[in-house]
Amino acid sequence: MDKIRRRIKQIDWSVPFDIYSLFDKEKANIHPAELAGVLSNIPIEHALPIFESFSDDLKAYIFSYLEFPDQIILIKRLPTAQVGAILNNLSSDDRTQFFRDLSNEDRTNYLVLLNEENRKSTLDWLGYDEKSVARLVNEDFATIYKYMTVAEASEHLRKYHIDSEAANVVYVIDEDGKLLDDIQIRRLVMNEPERPVSDLMDGDYISLNIKDSVDDAIDKFMDYDRVVIPVVNDTHILVGVVTVDDIMDEFEARETEDIQKFGGVDKLDYPYVQTNFFKLTQKRATWLVVLFVGEMLTATAMSFYEEEIAAAVVLALFVPLVISSGGNSGSQAATLIIRALSLKEITLKDWWFVMDREILSGLTLGGILGAMGFFRIVAWHNFQWYDYGEHWLLIALTIFFSLIGIVLWGTLAGSMVPLLLKRLNLDPATSSAPFVATLVDVTGLIIYFSVAALILSGTLL
């Protein structure tokens, strides 16, 4: 793609342009996804005539591979008749997805361009919860009946489902359309033509309910290694299928959202480069401002200890070191627990197990960092790199015990807050690294100055 991007930059737009000349291979071997990739890298005024030159089928195919912002730019400039043809030619899941992303006004405008059948089905799908698998359901699936022979089933498929994209698996339904079983289409090839379909049925199939969440669907695909799963409604009538390619896209989007949340950014609706500056800044500012307000408490906390700082300025020197250690160990613990929750390696029931383990971890890690901090001061003082005064050993002990306390607290907070959020039915990933760091900063200061007061009172304080 990099090579092609370079070639795009060298195009001389003043002469007629053949998009296929960009590729090193024959026209027949170029995938619509590749054409979509090229088009989204060409300025719209040049991309438009190229797109219009394609057949209706290819237009819809390419359209389905474009990102939503590019879809909108394109469709707003196409003549209405072409728009209608594209939207009607889309597969039902791609169509539902497109309509779901539209503004209310655009949705009304484009719905009228659909033929009656497509409009009805799109409106049906749009009625389901946004988080349900409904928006991924493809109505393009192939069915056969139990009473058929393998030869009859094959004949039936040839006659009614020749274009069916998802037909690696066919579904056996009864007269009411209720799902009875799934059969890999290869089994129709592998079995003698005269065998009855009922012979191939084993009643062992996996299905999704139309109201199941996309998250459940992802789990089912992962757990059972499927490439397509049938979707039924509450009366077990087969309404469509979900395919693994859509599941992978959803999975990637979910991961992106988790990672961005963990980094302290609100979920972006579009890729980084396609999100406009204002929107991006707004999303970032929201979280930064919340964290800033929280962090302001550090200034308040510090002001309570102003006298101690004035009496022993040396205490201030270690503030960043001490509180950041709490933040870092908290971020670590939060990452581990959030990920383990998301992979279902632990559940809420493991609360006490996690707590026991993290207390032990916190003490060990705090002990290691505390020892390092202790020896840092002892070494600096004795090599005379820095003069910590006559109470240098007490200062070193203050750092030692503070670090144990703060790292323990950071580890505990980092690991328990995600579980707490989960318990409250909130997204554990909300306890982002910056969030945990802020939480630990404020409490860390209190721990630090309390330990200092305990150890240094009567000497420095």
- Binding mask of the shown chain, residues 242 to 281, with x at each position contacting its own copies by CB under 8 A: -xxx--xx-xx--xx-xxx-xxxx--x--xxxx--x--xx
Q: Which of 213, 296, 225 is nearest to 250 (CA)?
A: 213
Instruction: Considering only residues 285 through 304, tell me which ones interact with its own copies, judged by CB under 8 A.
Output: 285, 287-289, 291-293, 295-296, 298-299, 302-303
* Apex 160 CA angle, 156 and 161, nearest 5: 100
Q: Which of 37, 205, 247, 438 is nearest to 19 (CA)?
A: 37
Does residue 321 interact with its own copies by CB under 8 A? yes
What's the rounded Cα separation, in Å, for the pair 412 and 429? 16
Instruction: Tell which one of 327, 405, 418, 428 touches its own copies (CB under 8 A).
Output: 327
Does residue 310 interact with its own copies by CB under 8 A? yes
In this complex, which beta carbon is closest to its own copies, that of residue 114 or of residue 142? 142
Torsion sign (Cα): 395, 401, 403, 405: negative
Does residue 369 interact with its own copies by CB under 8 A? yes
- Binding mask of the shown chain, residues 132 to 151, with x at each position contacting its own copies by CB under 8 A: --------------------
The distance of closest approach from Cβ of residue 176 to its own copies in the complex, given in angstroms and rounded to an integer, is 22
Instruction: Tell which one of 126, 222, 355, 421 touches its own copies (CB under 8 A).
Output: 222
What's the rounded Cα separation, in Å, for the pair 163 and 152? 18
Does residue 376 interact with its own copies by CB under 8 A? yes
What's the rounded Cα separation, in Å, for the pair 319 and 204? 62
Contact between 183 and 206 (Cβ < 8 Å): no
The amino acid at 74? L
Contact region with its own copies (CB under 8 A), list: 39-47, 50-58, 129-137, 361-369: 361-369
Does residue 158 interact with its own copies by CB under 8 A? yes
Neighbouring CB atoms inside 10 A of 278's CB total 8
Does residue 184 interact with its own copies by CB under 8 A? yes
Instruction: Considering only residues 331 through 360, tell me which ones interact with its own copies, judged by CB under 8 A.
Output: 331-332, 334-340, 343, 345-347, 349-350, 353, 357, 360
Q: Which of 248, 264, 244, 268 is nearest to 256 (CA)?
A: 268
What's the rounded Cα separation, in Å, for the pair 186 and 193? 13
To the nearest 10 degrees (0 to 180), the angle between helices 351-382 and 392-423 is: 160
In this complex, which beta carbon is closest to its own copies, that of residue 81 or of residue 293? 293
Report DSSP state, residue 211: T
In this complex, which beta carbon is closest to its own copies, that of residue 129 or of residue 387? 387
Q: Residue 192 is encoded by which pair of tokens?
A: 């003698």
Instruction: Considering only residues 1 through 60, tell me which ones interact with its own copies, judged by CB under 8 A.
Output: 2, 26, 28-29, 31, 33
Instruction: Tell which one of 118, 138, 143, 329 touches its own copies (CB under 8 A).
Output: 329
# residues near its own copies by CB under 8 A:
122
Instruction: Considering only residues 198 through 217, tell me which ones interact with its own copies, judged by CB under 8 A.
Output: 202-204, 206
The distance of closest approach from Cβ of residue 62 to its own copies in the complex, given in angstroms and rounded to an integer, is 14
Measure the CA dihedral 266/269/275/281, to 10°. Answer: -20
